[in-house]
Structure 1
Amino acid sequence: MKPILLLLILTTAQTLFAQQRPNIILILADDLGYGDVGYEGQQKIHTPNIDRLATLGMRFTQFYAGTSVCAPSRASLMTGRHTGHTAIRGNRGYQPEGQYPLPDSSLTIATVLQKNGYATGAFGKWGLGYPGSTGIPGKKGFTDFFGYNCQTLAHNYYPDHLWANDSLVHLPNSKNKDSVYSADLIHRHALEFIRRNRSRPFFLYLAYTLPHAELQVPHDSVYANYLAEFRDAHHAAYAAMVTRLDRYVGEILRGVQAGGLGANTLILFTSDNGPHREGGGDPAFFHSSGPLRGIKRDLYEGGIREPFIAVWPGKITPGATSNWTGAFWDFFPTFEQVAGIPTTKAIDGFSILPVLLGRPQTAKAHDYLYWEFHENNGRQAVRWGKWKGVRLDVNIVADPPIELYDLETDPGEQKNVAAQHPDIVRQIKTDMQESHRSNKDWPLLATENPKP
């Protein structure tokens, strides 16, 4: 056989093998509430593409974020650890830009996939390490990154710079505010990543900044339509931002289909935490938390339970609904199993692939889910079966009481039944104590060293 022909056969075989390994696209909205999408009951904002996504795949009704604010929630997602174990447990910033970094010791799912032959791209908001630190995307498994390093600077949709890997990209926004809308530019880079990697397996992390404050949209949005309907600039801007996010979702889906990748691509859609009240945000007006109590920074359901959709043609049943209880730290082992990689042991997550494939009886379930939050005087929460325990003021009160809610009969967490179930409260308190791993940078005094 001629060498050129042999090389062609080998190259073709390698390409076919690569294409057999599933692509993974994770679309992460920013501060999008459980009730902000049409398929979960939203009446005032139009989300036809997200709603269509729900009909194409499985929607989860009881799936949770890593916690109730950006950085620790994303750290949980990337590392497969809940916020009692993650290296990042709060939104701690550095000057002039960036956040508390993931250390060298933190293994991310992107690193695992990259080492196993996946092209890896992150587009949008990072927030897991300031420029030059151990936590930048390039040191955490991403070959391609475009967007904001700093989540604080990401509040401005007309910045003077973004980042392309380790390089600054200067934008002409200082004098002409409406010249480059960052979310559009980030989205275009993401679409190009899909086109460029059609012949090899890829992991695409789409950490869109919409609809996080500030409430800013360009002139070509549907802002004017919403303004005519609501007659309030903040309401119109928020609705237009959600609709623009919805448009991006539709374009990603079409980009996957146009590249002939639909049957070999798992697409996930969710949000990093509950809806915000900053910059004119009004979750009460939009009923953004749906029937749930709380918003961003709460460990009540509205702060951490998120819309979650999974689409994989031929694998996931269209229009399916699951009440499986899982959380962001389950993505790590799920993606490993999807990619055919042995699952990492020293993490908190369990693969939900059996659930996605319609075999929940073979999936390993959590005994309980745990969250901690290091702002607003410190908070903890546990979801154990139908029970939800919430503890407030853990850094200023000695042994604060635990509120208890029966989510089966009271999903809105309106009736505290702790007094009627002291045995359940004691168990949840034990779970809280066992789940928090001591960390000098993120203490919880009620758990580690209660005041006398």
Structure 2
Amino acid sequence: MNRLFVLVILMTVGLCSCESDEVDERRPNIVLFLVDDMGWQDTSVPFHTEKTAFNERYHTPNMERLAAEGMKFVQAYATPVCSPTRVSLMTGMNAARHRVTNWTLHRDSLQPMEKNHDSLVFPKWNVNGMSPVDGDPRSVHAMPLAQALNDIGYYTVHAGKAHLGAMGTPGESPLNLGFHVNIAGHAAGAPESYLGLENFGNGKEGKEVWAVPGLEKYHGEDIFLTEAITREALHSLDSVVSTEQPFFLYMSHYAVHTPIMGDKRFVRKYLEKGLDSIEARYASMIEGMDKSLGDIMKYLDEKNLADNTVVLFMSDNGGLSAHARGGEPHTHNLPLSSGKGSMREGGIREPMLAKWPDKIAPASVSQYQVIIEDFYPTILEIAGIDSLNTVQKIDGQSFLPVLVGEKEYDGVRKMVWHYPNEWGPSGPGIGAASAIRKGDFKLIYYHANQQMELFNLKEDIGETNNLVADNREKTKELAVDLSTYLKDVDAQMPFYKDNGTIVPYPEEVLDTVQIE
């Protein structure tokens, strides 16, 4: 689709940014550093109350520096899988509302594992992802975050994984979503190869959909994908750093998604630590990601940009643990339960950091609960936009007051997750489900068997003690809250294969609820 045509249509939907009188003369630069499949424990920065064995395993000195210079959020959340998180990030909408509830790739097509489930028929979710234009079928029409920033003068750079729209749709290309520059982003959510010596998967017959585009200058070179994308991202900023134009860098790494391939700059040290070959390769990918973060912070320092740049660090879902890893499945995020694809904490709780010199107190720690759609209004507020006419309803809440010390954790916010889909692997909390967290309590409702789990996360972060039978009052309260939200956003639910009836809302099965 012609990019100019897309931008003209975007203008007709009515962007209206009203700038506050208190906005600084020069807007801050914004770096959003998003890692793929990085778990809460995949770092030497402790996000638990104490350091763990995983924190000792990994080496992420630049994350340590970011935490020391900024704020660490220990209760930050995304969705169980990637595309729903990324669309929420770019639209400010909860996944239940935008309906891109599973990962996207092929136009108009459910995922293979959803086509023949043993007991459920899945709804016609928005398999085509997000779209900047109205009328694109099976997609959510929204004002993209980058477009809103673009329209007020930001130079917008997308680097790495996009995974926002299916092949052949407007949302496939970040250039249609308000980015001036797109480095290596397309419809696929994983690279065929991380190795420049393998041309990042280009030229492999039958693997064309996964080949990383646009990095031909590195083909045949002995370079890791994480490094190549970082170099290109920083090079793209060279044209604006000497001007007064602010920039938004969306550094969205493919790492540490499968295929788990060793970054030879770092892998040997982990083999010498005694890790098996898979886990050593994984740890090397973590460290390569951290080097990228360090390279970006070094660039900001060298260009005298650090003082006017906000750096936000986040992951798109919990760490992979159900398959493809070394060691015992479902243990790679301990003390959190399970991992990617799961409604348990290991699948949705993320490492989150934020730095803004003279605004965020160094070495601060926040208990404030953040969910991925909060980034949209927060980034817009940081940029000086205090009102915006969007075609979508924004579910996210700005956490800017938390960053600058004007608001503290109040413990009562409701957060909702909705996944009426099938991911594939099995494990704790994995499968079609909805969940709600309110204060310390979290309720998970499984669609296939109508079972529920209630956990007190303050007392039981590992989700080992299901309180449904012991605390019926709290179970009912959260089941009603979850049902009310799902109804309000017209959330989709699966159907039962044997009788064609729709999966009921959790409040409708309270009298017969099963305990898992």
Query: So what's the TM-score if we normalise by structure 1?
Result: 0.85
Go from structure 1 to structure 2 and tell me whether the alpha carbon gap of 1:367 and 1:206 turns closer, same or farther (over 3 Å shift).
same
Q: Match of 1:119, as an amino acid?
A: Y
Identity rate of aligned residues, in percent?
Answer: 30
Alignment partner for residue 79 of structure 1, among 91, 94, 107?
91
How do 1:263-412 residues align onto structure 2 when only pairs under 5 Å count? 263-277=307-321, 280-282=324-326, 288-344=332-388, 346-360=393-407, 367-373=413-419, 374-376=421-423, 377-392=431-446, 394=447, 396-397=448-449, 400-412=450-462
Aligned to 1:13: none
Question: Can you list the C-alpha shifts for 1:99-137, whole angstroms capped at 9, x where unaligned?
Answer: 723132222211111111111111110111134412121
Go from structure 1 to structure 2 and tell me whether the alpha carbon gap of 1:197 and 1:281 turns closer, same or farther (over 3 Å shift).
farther
Partners of 1:286 and 1:401 in 2: CA distance: 20
Residue 180 (structure 2) pairs with residue 143 (structure 1): yes
Q: CA deviation at 1:52?
A: 1.1
Question: Can you list the C-alpha shifts for 1:147-169, whole angstroms capped at 9, x where unaligned?
Answer: 13133442532221899xxx953
Aligned to 2:283: 239
Q: CA deviation at 1:332?
A: 0.8
Partners of 1:235 and 1:424 in 2: CA distance: 40
Aligned to 1:211: 256
Partners of 1:186 and 1:312 in 2: CA distance: 24
Q: CA deviation at 1:96?
A: 13
Q: CA deviation at 1:236?
A: 1.1
Alignment partner for residue 91 of structure 1, among 91, 103, 123?
103
Q: CA deviation at 1:378?
A: 0.8
Deviates more, 1:372-381 or 1:291-300: 372-381
Q: CA deviation at 1:411?
A: 1.4
Residue 129 (structure 2) pairs with residue 101 (structure 1): yes
Partners of 1:443 and 1:280 in 2: CA distance: 28
Partners of 1:283 and 1:327 in 2: CA distance: 30
**Aligned partner of residue 280 in structure 1, secondary structure:** coil
The answer to whether the 8 A contact 1:432-1:447 is kept is no
Aligned to 1:123: 159
The answer to whether the 8 A contact 2:105-2:165 is kept is no
The answer to whether the 8 A contact 1:112-1:141 is kept is yes
Partners of 2:298 and 2:100 in 1: CA distance: 35
Go from structure 1 to structure 2 and tell me whether the alpha carbon gap of 1:22 and 1:429 turns closer, same or farther (over 3 Å shift).
same
The answer to whether the 8 A contact 1:125-1:147 is kept is yes
Partners of 1:70 and 1:391 in 2: CA distance: 21
Partners of 1:223 and 1:141 in 2: CA distance: 37
Q: CA deviation at 1:170?
A: 6.6
**Aligned partner of residue 381 in structure 2, secondary structure:** helix
Deviates more, 1:109-118 or 1:143-152: 143-152
Aligned to 1:196: 239
Partners of 2:479 and 2:80 in 1: CA distance: 20
Deviates more, 1:240-249 or 1:94-103: 94-103
Q: CA deviation at 1:215?
A: 1.0
Aligned to 1:160: 202
Unaligned runs of 5+ in 1: 1-16
Alignment partner for residue 469 of structure 2, among 415, 419, 422?
419
Q: How many residues align?
A: 423
Q: CA deviation at 1:284?
A: 5.5
Go from structure 1 to structure 2 and tell me whether the alpha carbon gap of 1:279 and 1:215 turns closer, same or farther (over 3 Å shift).
farther
Deviates more, 1:90-99 or 1:111-120: 90-99
Go from structure 1 to structure 2 and tell me whether the alpha carbon gap of 1:304 and 1:343 turns closer, same or farther (over 3 Å shift).
farther
Alignment partner for residue 31 of structure 1, among 37, 40, 51?
37
Go from structure 1 to structure 2 and tell me whether the alpha carbon gap of 1:366 and 1:93 turns closer, same or farther (over 3 Å shift).
farther
Q: CA deviation at 1:258?
A: 1.0
Q: CA deviation at 1:426?
A: 1.8
Question: Can you list the C-alpha shifts for 1:230-289, whole angstroms capped at 9, x where unaligned?
Answer: 252111100110011111111010111111111111101111111113773247599642
Partners of 2:490 and 2:251 in 1: CA distance: 32
The answer to whether the 8 A contact 2:100-2:129 is kept is yes
Go from structure 1 to structure 2 and tell me whether the alpha carbon gap of 1:284 and 1:39 turns closer, same or farther (over 3 Å shift).
farther
Go from structure 1 to structure 2 and tell me whether the alpha carbon gap of 1:281 and 1:247 turns closer, same or farther (over 3 Å shift).
same
Go from structure 1 to structure 2 and tell me whether the alpha carbon gap of 1:336 and 1:447 turns closer, same or farther (over 3 Å shift).
farther
Deviates more, 1:231-240 or 1:321-330: 231-240
**Aligned partner of residue 413 in structure 1, secondary structure:** coil
Aligned to 1:446: 503
Aligned to 2:77: 64
Go from structure 1 to structure 2 and tell me whether the alpha carbon gap of 1:298 and 1:231 turns closer, same or farther (over 3 Å shift).
closer
Unaligned runs of 5+ in 2: 1-22, 112-126, 134-140, 195-199, 424-430, 496-501
Q: Match of 1:438, as an amino acid?
A: D
